[in-house]
Amino acid sequence: MVTKTLEVPLPANVKERLQTPICIPMPKPGKAQITLPFGGATIQAFNDITKGIPDDCSLNFSLMLQVAPLLANMKCLIEALKVVEPLVTLITALGKADLPAIAQALPKFLDAVPPLVDCIAKFFVGVPLFLRDLLMMLAKLLGCVVQTLRSALAVMSGLQLQIASARADNNTALLAALECAHGQAQASAQHALTAVDPLLVILSLCEPLFGLADVSPIQTPQIGSDESIEGLTAVIDVLDTLAKTLRTVAEGLVAQ
């Protein structure tokens, strides 16, 4: 059977629409967090920029990875709470000179103290090691963010000249494709920047540990939000400097 291809003429406006590239926007960065049991503070999910755009599942899995060690390290806090109750009872009984209550509270207090003392002793020994590893981890993660931002910046810089050329030539189809690619690179940079805030929060939460490890605190820098090439370049410089500082401090803790 012989087939014949028929050409169906299309209106000019339809042809123009078919020739114009379709730009599919990237989704905006999501968030997930858990409120901690003390002080109303929260921990935020990390956006793993090495695995594409995070979704609700990956964000909550990130939270789970943070919660597990948190629960494991609440042991000493729980031991402290075990001491508080009999201590309050004992002090109250002493104030009232209530001998039966004192006799009942004292053994509970004495039993609760040794586990807490053991936790405290281990804590002061482990603080410098913990701070060293934590700072090195933050430095490496900031390095990952910087690498992603530099890649996005290189793409945006290259496209900027092509966009200007296409606009000057009045090449609408090429201009639409280039602007779409520029928007995708810009969105990639925005996603990478969402990983910075949780890292800075962790760094600020480490401040009490610096004193225990006899190290000067590291000031958290101000990160700009300008999405221009100049603004992104400034952000990269700030993050790169911070990563180098963290690495230097961590190496100093290793030498102690």
pLDDT tens digit sequence for 48-104: 766 766 677 777 778 877 777 777 677 677 777 777 778 877 788 787 777 887 888
User: Hey, what's the torsion of the CAs at 20, 25, 26, 32, to 10 degrees?
Assistant: -170
What does the pLDDT look like over 165-194, one tens digit per residue?
A: 888 988 888 888 888 888 888 888 888 888
Q: Please give the C-alpha separations between residue 59 and each of 64, 205, 228, 254, in angstroms, as whole numbers.
A: 9, 21, 28, 32
**CB-CB contact of 60 with 34 (8 Å):** no
Six-digit token pair at 215? 């190290």
The count of other CB atoms within 10 Å of the CB of residue 250 is 19
User: Residues near 7 by Cβ (< 8 Å), separated by ≥ 6?
Assistant: none
